[in-house]
Structure 1
Amino acid sequence: MTASGLPPRPDWVRAVNDGRVDPLVEDAVAPFRRDTLLDQARVQTGLADFGADDFLEPLDLLLADLEAHARLTRVGRWQTHRYLLRLLRQRLLVAEYVKRDPGVRDERIEEPLFVVGAPRTGTSILHALLAQDPAHRVPEGWELLLPVPPPSPDPEVFAADPRIAVADAELRVFDRVSGALDAIHVYGARLPKECLSAQSFAFRSQEFPARYHVPNYTAWLLGCDMGPAYEYHKTVLQILQRGFPRGRRWVLKSPAHLHTLPDLLRTYPDARIAVTHRDPITVLGSVSSLIATLRWVHSDDVGFAAIGKYHEDLYAGDLDRLVDFDASGQSTAMVHGQYADFLRAPLDTVRAMYEGLGMTLAPAAEERMRTYLAGRPKDKHGVHSYSFDDLGLDRAHADARFDRYRTHFAVPRATQ
């Protein structure tokens, strides 16, 4: 471990960042300029129409913060240029696809199921278990990164799509650069993916603060209208659904939806919501470790205390609003599960969630879930070590901020 508590990077990454190896990549030193990036995306696709221009304001804020505050390494700048250009190319391709096939707008996204809850509360394992149900459609990493053209409904053609390798190279680079991300969260093209990646095309997404220290963009994001992000999210699902038989329910997941439940329900008024719960004191240590590692992929300047404080404030507000939302009775299609119950009896917990949402867990789906759990040994990719005490926060103050949430949802208090 380094002095900061983060793992040492692989030798090849240090060699590039130190200037000992010249990767001959102009993007490693090129400035982030909006017009240059837009022109590059146009040239690479041969297209010109990005659709609505409501993405330009957040893009400008993001680019300014990347230059002024993110303190990117050479590898980090190179990765970020590639990331931004992928988002812009896909905007062009989406706009072109909708023009050529306007009927895609008539695709109905019926009663989607959203898994929400603070990070590190069991959302990923619940999402993965729900993906085992043949009645569900869970977007894979490559679909959310590269949705155009729609994937083939033929399983063999779907599995052989050349975009899988392209997306996998982008997603696997996080562990390659950090040397330790897999022990916290595994990313891959054929794995279920958080659907906030679909909102990133609108440049209104928590994906950016997760990767970079971008304070002005983040402040804007937390107060902006998320309607355009959810509309883009819906467009991506409509494209991915095009040509597939009807009847399968979309199952989506992201802790970021906690902050924007009203926006989500305006776009998907018939949505069903499954919320996972865990003591926020434990969550803060775990999620801050994850975010620090993601930022370590891009920057040498990673501040645990600032990351921890940001998430304490974010989730104190989000979880209070969740209490208000639940107490108001605004949504009857919402169920809750405790992280401790997932550890003790995962299938019983999932079964109870199905029943609470008026859904049927078929025996074949339950058996597939059982098989998935049996093939997923704990700590397969290493041990994730984290502690609230790493954050330099006042434990008593932070603990008190979550008392109302713990009481309302009967969340067990962390033992340490």
Structure 2
Amino acid sequence: MFFNYQGFLKALYLSLFQRPFRLRRWFYVLFFSVLYLAFVAFVAVGRLLDHLFFPGFKRTRIERPVFVIAPPRSGTSFLQRLLCADEQRFVHWKMYQTIFPSICFQAVFNGLAWIDVKCGGVIWRLMQWCERKWFGGWDEMHRMRLDQPEEDQALFLYAFASEAIFMLFPFVVPLWEVGFPDALPPPSRRALMAYYRSCLQRHVYANGRGRTLLVKSTHASGAIESILETFPDARFITIVRHPDEAIPSHVSLFVPVWQAHSPEIEKDGDESKAYAALAAEWYRHLHRFRARVDPANFYSIDYRDLRADPAHTIATLYRHFGWDVSESYRARLREFTEQQHAFQSAHCYSLEEFGLSKQWIREELGPVIESYGLDGKAAAVQQPQGGGLRQTLAPDRYRQPPPLGQPAVIHGVQEAE
């Protein structure tokens, strides 16, 4: 099991010794670091037991997996729910499966679920109550439930190679490679991908043999080239949402967490700007990726089209990959479309809150915005043409964050997730 111990130790050093002493921050950092390491150790034990009780997982082939990869707050959760409804075709990750990525643990949970049914569902009702307490406050921004589809964030988090660690360690520039795994040194990147492959093998072995693996992974916007190298026959789906909306939406999720352990961090401080710079590099990285992947294995969706007509968007996606839409799935898509038309998020934010501006967005991402026509009327995103030989990965290209611009007053936007 891969663990980026150098990044972890560096994060601890930066939090504890490179900022003025704050008892509150020390408590948060030490408490959650110990809890995190305990989870890592627990999961590592379960994965070792897999080799003893379920050695067959190592022979499991991951054939033509489908990855939904886009910058956070781009509608990936909605698209994941749409695709997961095609249960005959896809097997996906559920939240509890990403937290406990071990066949042994999942076998134990399946046994407990069977016992719970016989006992009247006491455990199930208790878990529902816990979920409302643990995750209910996030429902307007990102609904989370243990038994519902979820992205594979936890897998990378256990390896300390996920942008989620910036919630506790808000040092984006010094820890750039943690949020951008394609920039890791080649040996570490290969070890990370070997661990990741083993996670997917376990999941398919335990839950989805005979079906296509579907993975939603927003944080993999900075790991997409490594994923392609590991799964050359993979299919990639990305969603393009205007960065004026997506970037401040994601920063808005981090600021309250930062201020919980470090109240001195301001909304429009350096942390917000550095995190926005990382998100901008994800946009550029995904845009460059279009030229390195076989167009037959890549599809872009305009976020506005997905919101306006989910059923038509999915039908077009299926035609691109040569998939058939069953009648039962078509009916589910009609239901999703009706529900989406009635949905209105209450999550509000603005660029100016975080020291950002439309001018800075244009300076950083002007060519990307123009390429996708994001400043114009919603239309089907132009798909890449031609074969385009995939270039050799050069991690040094992604080591330095782009420069930050100056804040300016702009109008707020309302979240439409």
Q: Which bin holds the TM-score, normalised by the shorter protein? A: 0.7 to 0.9
Question: Is 1:337 the equivalent of 2:301?
Answer: yes
Name the CA distance, whole Å, in 2 between partners of 1:165 and 1:324: 47
- 1:114 Cα deviation after fit: 0.8
**Contact 1:61-1:216 within 8 A present in 2 as well:** no
Identity of aligned residues (%): 20
**Contact 1:140-1:190 within 8 A present in 2 as well:** yes
Q: For 1:59-98, what aligned pairs fall within 5 Å after superposition?
A: 59-68=8-17, 72=25, 74=27, 78-98=31-51
Name the CA distance, whole Å, in 2 between partners of 1:231 and 1:280: 32
Deviation readout 1:97-143 (Å, 9 max, x if unpaired): 22443321111122111111111111110011111111211111100
Q: Residue 170 of structure 2 is aligned with which of 190, 210, 213?
A: 213
Question: Is 1:224 the equivalent of 2:184?
Answer: yes
Q: Residue 400 of structure 1 is aligned with which of 363, 370, 391?
A: 363
**Contact 1:88-1:201 within 8 A present in 2 as well:** no
Question: Is 1:151 the equivalent of 2:114?
Answer: no
Structure 1 pair 354/65, CA: closer, same or farther in 2 (3 Å)? farther
SS in 1 for 2:349: coil
**Contact 2:80-2:149 within 8 A present in 1 as well:** yes
Name the CA distance, whole Å, in 2 between partners of 1:323 and 1:260: 13
Q: Which moved more, 1:404-413 or 1:165-174?
A: 165-174
The equivalent residue for 2:5 is 56
Which sections of structure 1, spanning at least 5 residues, go unmatched? 1-50
The equivalent residue for 1:18 is none
SS in 2 for 1:252: strand
Q: For 1:12-23, what aligned pairs fall within 5 Å after superposition?
A: none
Name the CA distance, whole Å, in 2 between partners of 1:123 and 1:107: 27
Question: Is 1:103 the equivalent of 2:56?
Answer: yes
The equivalent residue for 1:22 is none
Question: Is 1:308 the equivalent of 2:272?
Answer: yes
Q: For 1:11-410, what aligned pairs fall within 5 Å after superposition?
A: 51=1, 54-68=3-17, 72=25, 74=27, 78-134=31-87, 135-148=89-102, 149=104, 151=106, 175=135, 180-215=137-172, 218-221=175-178, 222=180, 223-225=183-185, 226-244=189-207, 246-296=209-259, 298-305=261-268, 306-372=270-336, 374=338, 378-379=343-344, 383-410=346-373
Which sections of structure 2, spanning at least 5 residues, go unmatched? 117-121, 378-409, 412-417
- Return the letter of the residue paired with 2:86: D
Alignment RMSD (CA, Å): 3.4
SS in 1 for 2:238: strand
Give the total of aligned pairs.
Answer: 360
- Return the letter of the residue paired with 1:345: D
Q: Which moved more, 1:360-369 or 1:126-135?
A: 360-369
- 1:329 Cα deviation after fit: 4.8
Name the CA distance, whole Å, in 2 between partners of 1:66 and 1:172: 31
